[in-house]
Structure 1
Amino acid sequence: MAGISERGKEIKRRRHRRKKLAQLNARLQKATVSEKAVIAAKIRNLTPGAEVLIDAWELRDSDR
């Protein structure tokens, strides 16, 4: 019986990342300025394309 393939792991990571980003985006709607900074930091830790998302979600000014 074979384990999970590398492609399967990659797909699982992508699905988890997409789900987590959707949760963060939902929380962003009601977030305060300090919470937006925390969300931006979490996005940076979660995905390699974080800067693109931060710009798209307009978190640049509330971050750092």
Structure 2
Amino acid sequence: MILKGKTALVTGSTSGIGLAMAKAMAKQGANVMMNGFGDKETAIAAVKAYGVAVDYHGADMSKPDEI
């Protein structure tokens, strides 16, 4: 799957499956919008290593006023 030029929104992306998905999307060329509550700096650096644009927004996705 080639995702160059696309943007992926990945929730829970500072650890576990979410981080793995963010990295997988970036590896395929997608820019990544990350969301989570963990160590954001380490997670962002891991995804940026694939040479894509990365942005981060910390929010509780269960609270509409934070989205």
- Settle same-fold status: TM greater than 0.5: no
Q: Say which one has the larger Rg.
A: 1
> When the two structures are superposed, what TM-score results if normalisation uses the length of structure 2?
0.39
> When the two structures are superposed, what TM-score results if normalisation uses the length of structure 1?
0.40
More strand by share: 2
